[in-house]
Amino acid sequence: MDFDSACADLVDGLVDAGRIDRPATERALRAVPRHEFVPTSCREAAYQDRPLPIGEGQTISAPHMVAMMSDLFAPDPGDRILEIGTGCGYHAAVTAELVDDTVYSVEVEPALADRARDRFDRLGYDVRVRVGDGFDGWPAEAPYDGAYLTCAPESTPGPVVEQVRPGARIIAPVGRGRQELVRLTRRADGGVDRSRHGGVRFVPMRSPDS
């Protein structure tokens, strides 16, 4: 299979359908080889616009959803970013294409974290992965210029909000059962402004002992 052509066709289709707004997002999706982030058995479907299983009961998000979240997030090149939910590493790789600094990612499943680290090392992405509880964020590396979640909590974890700078954005799918994608912007007083961006379906966020 010609993965380069398949990737180009996928991104062309997302652009034509109005699914990508920012040129930086388009360039990032063209640059990341999605087929490297899915199991061998799924590689021929890697450039279809749909989620795929990656093991441990988890999935890789559909490309249009990664594009939408990246557009809403809109990081600046010099930003330090926190990701909650490494999964296979695809979304973090897209983010790494958008920023020049390290991406810090927390994953609850040790097996997924190990495989993601191997991919980042092999493909040359500046992403650090910590195995732990995403509800706690990664306080040792805070503060961050933005954060996003690739799994759905009932409400955005307070520690993640506290670990981003005033003015920073947090993108998260939120809810149990019915989920919606939200963008939070942290205010200088510690509160947040919220905007809603439609219904979504993500794997639930969980702690290591759940």
Which residues have a catalytic role annotated?
61
As given in the structure block, the two tokens for residue 118 are 């191997």
CB under 8 Å, gap of 24 or more: what pairs does 176-182 form?
Answer: 176/152, 176/204, 179/152, 181/68, 181/69, 181/72, 182/156
**Residue 34 vs residues 39, 111, 182: alpha-carbon distances, Å:** 11, 19, 25
What does the block give as tokens for 178? 């019915």
Q: Give CA–CA dist 76/24, Å, rounded.
A: 10
**CA dihedral (203, 183, 50, 114) positive or negative:** negative
Query: DSSP string covering 27-91, please?
Result: HHHHHS-GGGGS-GGGGGGTTSSS-EEEETTEEEPPHHHHHHHHHHH---TT--EEEE--TTSHH
The span from the CA of 17 to the CA of 188, in Å, is: 37
Q: From CA 43, how far away is CA 206, in angstroms rounded?
A: 28
